Structure 1
Amino acid sequence: MSTARREVAVTAAGVCSPGGVGVSALWEALTTGRAHRPPLTAFDTEGATLRAAGQVAGHTGADGAWRALDLAESAVLEALDGVAEGDREGIALVLGTTDPGVVPPEPGHLAGDLAGACAERTGLGGEAVTVATASASGAVAIAVARDLVAAGDAPAAVVGGADAVTDMAFLGLNSLRTLGPEGCRPFSTRRRGIGLSEGAAVLRLEPLDATAPGDRAPLAVLAGCGLTNATGHLVAPAADGIEQAIRLALADAGLEPRDVDLVNTHGPGTRRGDDAEITALRAVFGPHLTSIPVNSVKGVLWHLQGGAGAVEALTCVLSLAHRAVTPTWGAEPVDPMCADLDLVLDDGPRSVPELRTALSVSCGLGGINTALVFREA
């Protein structure tokens, strides 16, 4: 009997973000640079470096930490479109969040059981796993779910991340001097920190060989995952930890650095974060890096916290589907350390007909680094 790992495909997705509700709205936001980032009114921001946040326009529901559950439910239901309620029993749900202390309003769940509460709302009866690994939570969740499906422990999985903007998260980051007065400006000389956002993004994963004729065509294949926990500082990422995660993901996918056609970075717009990530990418790709489009979505969406890695993974999937790369909004004027890189400073999406493989990098406090490799189905 063969023990080869089954390939895992992305067959559907769901999202709600400052760019709007739904996958098509996300793509439009990424290509136009428009997102909803109004002043915060839910709590007092007097004296904060930044007084606005990325918000999901028109999304009603709970406030505070419980809002993450509402946002997750919205994204999961979009990803389940076309799946009858009777067919959801065995589907696993893996959700990343930066706030594992959230207490869902549903009875019968432990504090922090975001995935369990969301599974109950959406009728998913498989394993429910909540992942809390800071800003890399959504990406780590995707790696966990890929292994569940590849090993046959779940026939399918819905996976991603969700977070709301709470006073604890916003004011806590402000006290750490992490917020920038202009929000996220990845790789720009004007970058001074991040802008915080709410939102949720998920992918539906299924074995590639389980897709039968007439079924929804796969959007992409999740070919490789790499995770490391390596840093010498709580809030400053280490380039060698990021580098190792990327190398692990490429090896897992059976690919060489020259096979990568797009790098979607964590790109938060913090000086230490950007510098460490670019240093890691140079170590992996060498001179070839200058010929690969390198972008960040945080210039338009800002930082979705636990949903960041998931929405960025979805961006890679959409780029493969559209054969196009979205711009790095807010990057100009570009820091001289990045002057030789192709940061995609176009006014709209760039057509890349040869786009076949995309790498997504996510980093979190405490040295959590994740790299995901997607390729065309």
Structure 2
Amino acid sequence: MPRAVTQSHSHALARSKHRWRRYLADERAEAAMYRSLGRRRQGEEREILMALADAEKRHEQHWLDLLGDEVGRPLRPALRTQVLGLLAKWFGSVFVLALMQRAEARSPYSKDPDATPKMAADEQMHEEIVRGLAERGRKRLSGSFRAAVFGANDGLVSNLSLILGVGASGVSTHVILLTGAAGLLAGALSMGAGEYVSVHSQRELLEASRPNPAVLKIIPILAVGNNELELLYRAHGMSEEQARARAHLVLEERTADSSIILDQPEDVSHEEIGTGMGAALSSFCFFASGAIIPIFPYLFGVSGMPAVFTAAGLVGISLLGTGAVVGLLSGASPVKRALRQLAIGYGAAAATYLLGMLFGTEIH
């Protein structure tokens, strides 16, 4: 075999072994993350996370077998894996699960000839399992958290737009500051009241749609030939055949179990939308916390264009943060969501600033 071919083969093998060691390091780190998260959970979630750690150990063994005696010194896992490990150790929250969902989705095994098809399938399944675990946390957060994140975002964008629009018309710094304070209070109160009405109304609608428990008492005295129970099931979405079979079964057994009305979870829907007061307080506080940021430069005596650039910069950083958080929780790219949030916020502020300049010029 020519020497050049031999050297090329040796270099390719060396690169493969380095890649295997990297995979080995990542598998070990991911197994450690699942164990760390599992120790913070109880019951079923703990069992699932520990089982995922065991699955990563099986993948680890595959790379150990390929490397044989050439495992060498342990490599550091990829930077994102290291960051995930620290987050899992420190927080152990839905944010980490959302990040791990994305990490499983980016597995290179489906394109790597040295990984088995079973390993690639495992990684896809792990993504779905972690998605399911993260979904539980998202449901627990979705009510008040939604009001908090979007309240802060509204406060940032609306008050920055208000301040820039008024400031561009040429008014004094004192007027801009008063305008910003008024915008903060008006917006926070409006957001809080609106969120309370929205969530409270949604809970009332859900409550009105729940079956009446009093219906259970009449089941034992319904006639077997009566079709009202069949109509009840059809009204709740069953087909005619399903409703007839279900009604016949219930009337024959004369059961008073609540499942005869409709198979529904206990109160999951109510938990997901949160309470009216909780959503209102979150919306008020986070709108105010967002709306105060563009006022900071004016509070400390900065005026003119330096104040505009400072306010826009502070709001931009905050928009990037809220966008990244939403991206993490949704399992999407935090970078893309952060940039989208920034573009929307700056677009609204720029439009208002230009209108303020236009009106200011016309007034003068």
Classify the TM-score, shorter chain. Answer: under 0.3
Report the structure, 1 or 2, having the larger helix content: 2
TM-score by length of structure 2 reads 0.23
* Structure having the higher Rg: 2
TM-score by length of structure 1 reads 0.23
